[in-house]
A and B are shown apart, each in its own frame.
Chain A
Amino acid sequence: MNEPLITARSLVKKFGDLVAVDEIDFDVEQGEAFGFLGPNGAGKTSSMRMIGCVSPTTSGRLEIFGLSPTADGRAIRARIGVVPQMDQLDNELTVLENLVIYARYFDIPRDVARARAAELLEFVQLTERKDDTVDPLSGGQKRRVSIARSLISEPELMLLDEPTTGLDPQARHVLWDRLYQLKERGATLVLTTHYMDEAEQLCDRLVVMNGGKIVAEGSPRNLITTYATREVLEMRFGRGHNEEHVSEVSQVGERVEILPDRLLVYAHDGEGALATLRERNIIPESALVRRSSLEDVFLRLTGRTLVD
């Protein structure tokens, strides 16, 4: 049995009085794509920075590759690739130089660095921009340079902090595709996100974080079956009229969530529930039946929506 790549036990991070990460436990296995899902301020980035050995732990145990960040930070950082939330590309260098110089920080010989850089630029489809400075690149392109840069040291573990935040849908899909390819090649990915679809697409397993704590853990599918029903019926009765219908509506589903603009009814059969309501002459302004998602899991666990 392989040792997990990352082990965290009772891990705590405090900034003064603020508890950013509050006694969390998790393991990340070799070759898996592991996600931290949660709203802003949930403690995702703090956890990532501790794993990346750029933030000392306050208490608890954290091991990466079986090493301790305090004693072996340099050795651990040599084996991980980091894609930060804000691209921290070197604006004084070209795209190609960004990769080659970054490789030099890892003591990689120059000719090896050049060969890898050429390959990686091909991989992220930026070969024709290699001699441009990074400033004029679009957000999606910059993020791709960041990913290529993080791969130049052939890391055993990749840390991606909100890899697609702020990108347009098209750029997101290109990025997901690249990350998916990395996964297929056996890379271990740890990523944070506050997008359900991203977590569902990329993560084999994830933890849901809220207020510094892990509130649930499992595969996306698993979490959905555990914490939500198969389908969700969304209904709008118009502003201020949603609450009046809660008691009637709750008779046709397992659970009801009241949001400012709509009611969510968790039911095995959404269409059936809607039909029953119509028979009872309860007609919403609009109604929609969809499959349940991680968003619903999150709502159930924390009582709030993810993207606020």
Chain B
Amino acid sequence: MTAPAATERISIATRIIPAVLFDVRRPQRLVERSLVVTRRGWLMVVSGFFEPLFYLLSIRVGLSALVGDVAVGGDLVPYDEFVAPGLMAASAMNGAVFDSTMNVFHKWKQARLYDSLLATPMSAGDIAVGEVTWAVIRGLLYSTAFLATMLVLGMVGSLWMVLSIGACVLIGFAFAAVGMACTTFARSWADFDYLPAVTLPLFLFSATFYPPSSYGDWSWVVQLSPLYHGVALIRAANVGEFSASVIVNIAVLVGLALVGIAVTARRIEKLLLT
């Protein structure tokens, strides 16, 4: 017999969290597969470490001197220290989006990987969580490299910056989940031509290069960008000052991640289990 209270709790939970998420048992097996595949393509992984270096050097060498200091919270920080967290967030986003769109589409349509997975005890939820987790793990690697590069270039403003890794995990989770969900709607490779139309504005207008106050009355629009919430988190970590808005930032990213995974799992069930 199940206690009535427990049943009640479960039914409330299922109302909020989609049922597919309860059918996640062994997503780590898919991560294991990705690891084996990547072991051969390790050079491509290494190339990811150059991205932060080029980003940060370009800012350090030219822009920083031109722009001068920027106000973050109550403090004035040098421009490169202001931009670096923004770039870190953007790089976490780009990595996650790349892994969860083109790579997933190939495995879905061309390699028919998910068809063969669904014939085993793996579920649609396992696939969704497994693929997103892999994107996050790769992102974690790059974020760590990014942080190390910032440290070497003297752009880390506070010890709290270790938390930026956690923020990057959240960004990765949110963008990989939503990216994979969108990929399930793609019909052909041509659909991915629209991808930059989404990621580029996010990259440019998420308070990445200048504070939201620059937009004047329109600064609230920036808040609609999921990337903005990632940028805000990392920027807060870099100056070591956290306000209550951090909770909102985290909630937005976690929410996107859950919705993305649930939609992905549903779509896999709908399209492949016919």
Chain A residues engaging chain B, CB cutoff 8 angstroms: 15, 52, 54-56, 74-75, 77-78, 82, 84, 86, 88-93, 97, 101-102, 104-107, 153
Bound-complex Cα distance A106 to B126 (A): 12
Tell me whether A77 and B120 are in contact (CB under 8 A).
Answer: yes
State in angstroms the CA–CA spacing of A92 and B274 once bound together.
26
| B33 at interface, CB cutoff 8 A | yes
Asked if residues A107 and B121 are in contact (CB atoms below 8 Å), the reply is yes
Query: What range describes how many residues of B lie at the interface?
Result: 20 to 34
Smallest Cβ distance from A265 to chain B, in angstroms?
Answer: 45
Name A105's contact: one of B29, B36, B115, B272 (CB within 8 Å).
B29
Whether B116 contacts A90 by the Cβ 8 Å rule is yes
Is there contact, CB below 8 Å, between B36 and A15? no
CB B17 to nearest CB in A, in angstroms, measures 19
Residues A105 and B121 in contact in the complex (CB < 8 Å), given A54-B272, A86-B112: yes
**A77 to chain B: which residues have CB within 8 Å?**
119-121
Within the complex, which residue of B32, B115, B118, B123 is in contact with A104, where a contact is CB–CB below 8 Å? Answer: B32
CB distance from B38 to the nearest CB of A (A): 9
Assuming the A-B contacts A74-B25, A88-B112, A90-B111, are A82 and B274 also in contact, with contact meaning beta carbons closer than 8 angstroms in the complex?
no
A105 proximity list for chain B (CB < 8 A):
26, 29, 117, 120-122
Across the interface, name the chain A residue whose C-beta is closest to B120: A105
A91 touches B121 (CB 8 A): no
Pairwise interchain contact A93-B36, C-beta atoms closer than 8 A: yes
A75, B97: Cα distance in complex, Å? 34
**Using Cβ atoms and an 8 Å threshold, which residues of chain A touch B37?**
92-93
Contact with A along B122-154 (1 / 0, CB 8 A): 110000000000000000000000000000000
Please report the C-alpha to C-alpha distance between residue A15 and residue B274 in the assembled complex, in whole angstroms.
8
Cross-chain contact A82 with B273 (CB below 8 angstroms): no
B residues with CB within 8 A of A: 23, 25-26, 29, 32-33, 36-37, 111-113, 115-123, 272-274
Q: How far is the CA of A97 from the CA of B33 in the complex (A)?
A: 9
Shortest Cβ distance from A101 into B: residue: B33
Q: CB-CB < 8 A to B122: which residues of A?
A: 105
Shortest Cβ distance from A64 into chain B, in angstroms? 13
In the complex the two chains form, is B29's CB within 8 Å of A56's CB?
no
Contacts known (A97-B36, A101-B36, A104-B29); A84 close to B120, Cβ less than 8 A: no
Do A55 and B116 touch (CB < 8 A)? Answer: no
Given contacts A77-B121, A105-B121, contact A84 B32 (CB under 8 A): no
Contact yes or no, B118 A54, CB < 8 A = yes
21 A-B pairs whose Cβ atoms sit less than 8 Å apart in the complex: A54-B119, A55-B273, A55-B274, A77-B119, A77-B120, A78-B120, A82-B119, A84-B116, A86-B112, A88-B112, A88-B115, A88-B116, A92-B111, A93-B36, A93-B37, A97-B36, A101-B36, A102-B116, A105-B29, A106-B121, A153-B120
Considering the complex, give the chain A residue whose CB is closest to the CB of B269.
Answer: A56
Residues in A neighbouring B23, C-beta threshold 8 A? 74
Q: Which chain B residues border A88 with CB–CB below 8 Å? A: 112-113, 115-116
How far apart are A190's CB and chain B's nearest CB, in angstroms? Answer: 14
Q: Besides the contacts A74-B123, A78-B121, A105-B29, what 7 more A-B pairs have beta carbons closer than 8 Å? A: A54-B119, A92-B37, A101-B33, A102-B120, A105-B121, A105-B122, A107-B29
| CB-defined contacts of B120 to chain A, threshold 8 Å | 77-78, 102, 105-106, 153
- Interchain CB contact (< 8 A) of B119 among A75, A84, A93: A84
Query: B33 contacts which chain A residues (CB < 8 A)?
Result: 90, 93, 101, 104
The docked-state distance in angstroms from the alpha carbon of A89 to that of B119 is 12
Check A74–B121 contact: CB distance below 8 A. Answer: yes
Known contacts A88-B112, A92-B111, A93-B36, A52 near B121 by CB under 8 Å:
no
A69 to B111, CA, bound (A): 26
Which residue, A15, A52, A74, A89, has most C-beta atoms of chain B within 10 A?
A: A74
Q: How far is the CB of B143 from chain A (nearest CB, A)?
A: 25
- Bound together, the chains give a CA A104 to CA B23 distance in angstroms of 18
Contacts of B36 in A (CB 8 A): 93, 97, 101
Q: What is the bound-complex CA distance between A15 and B273, given in angstroms? A: 12
Contacts of A54 in B (CB 8 A): 115, 118-119, 272-273
**Contact at B26–A107, with CB atoms within 8 Å?**
yes
Task: Please determine whether A90 and B273 come into contact, CB atoms closer than 8 angstroms.
Answer: no
* Residue contact A84 to B26, C-beta cutoff 8 Å: no
Contacts of B32 in A (CB 8 A): 101, 104
Instruction: Give the docked Cα–Cα distance between A78 and B32 (Å).
Output: 19
